[in-house]
Amino acid sequence: MPSGACPERSRRGRPREARLSLPSVPLRLCGEIDVSMLLREALQAAITRLTAEQVPSPRLNAETLLMFTLNCDRAHLYAHPERELTPEEQSRYDETLTQRSKGVPAQYITGHQEFWGLDLIVSPAVLIPRPETEHLIETVLPLARAIPHPIIADVGTGSGAIALALAKELPNAEIHATDISPAALEIAEANAARLQLEFRASNQHPPERRIFFHDTDLLRGLDPGAFDFVVSNPPYVGLAEEDEVQLEVRKFEPRNAVFAGPTGLETIAQLIPAAQTVLKPGSYLIMEISGTIAGGVRALLAGWEDITITNDLQGIARVAMARKSP
């Protein structure tokens, strides 16, 4: 579940607000295309427009959408401020700005989001991966690296962000990613294929698959007592908090990936006993949570061992971990 929405962030912490020195140019309204616009003029006009329309991080959004329009990187924006945009490029850029002004997340406009150094395909069928979720990866890795061939279940995989980040870092792991959304699983499988992470690197023919995708609810159908880790970024926002959630999250991201029910604990309350069934004795359940539900999660984990809740870089409770009794 998200704690915020931002089109591009560094691997940790705050958004990258790289800056380009740009002269002020008049605001161009939606649909006004200047056939002789320079790159720097188009960018400044976009920043001014997004600022006027109260879009968060207007410079970052303007740069992200211009890079998408021109199929270039940020270095190109810096190196070619005098480049003249074609009318077609200006029209495409204007359309992306219109979508962003309506609240459509930049990630859904571009179809991409970076997570743990991976370029992931995203769509409105999946939750947008957040930097905060990287704390879950950081929690899992030291424990998983102590096991020669860890077997991991990722519940509610969405775009596959958690499963693929773990696959990237744990070449000997076997990972089972579940989701109840066929559309989400299609995206996760596409990400695994394009990132070449679904098979183990070896000379074996045919190659050995190491990521398995399951169209199922939570852990239903997975082998009892087979897993070293169950990991998840489940829905954990309560309906009572709905008005506090960013409007574009409420409006555009999949609702069942954000809201769990009245209290925010409903999905986790089902996940905990399901994890108890599939985990090996002494193995770990690791979940993303929020500070709002931290106390409730701890109570639901009664009977587990080594219960810990760790904070993210902003001091907010973010990851809950517990170990099944040996």
Model confidence at 261, pLDDT cuts 50, 70, 90, reads very high
> How many Cβ atoms are within 10 Å of 101's Cβ, its own excluded?
16
For 236-266, b/e burial (b = at least 16 CB within 10 A) is bbbeeeeeebbebbbebbbeebbbbeebbbb
Q: Is the pLDDT of residue 81 over 80?
A: yes
Q: Are 110 and 68 in contact (CB under 8 A)?
A: yes
- Report the distance separating Cα 52 and Cα 322, nearest Å: 47
pLDDT tens figures, 99-155: 999 999 999 999 999 999 999 999 999 999 999 999 999 999 999 999 999 999 999
Average pLDDT over residues 322-326: 96
Amino acid (1-letter code) at residue 215: D
Confidence (pLDDT) at 241: 93
- Structure tokens that stand for 39 in this block: 């790159």
Q: Domains in the chain, start-ordered, CATH in brackets?
A: 1-110 (1.10.8.10), 112-323 (3.40.50.150)
pLDDT tens figures, 28-73: 444 444 457 999 999 999 999 999 999 999 999 999 999 999 999 9
- Structure tokens that stand for 119 in this block: 């370029």
- Structure tokens that stand for 284 in this block: 């770990």
Model pTM score: 0.87
pLDDT top residue among 26 and 285: 285
Q: Is the pLDDT of residue 21 over 90?
A: no
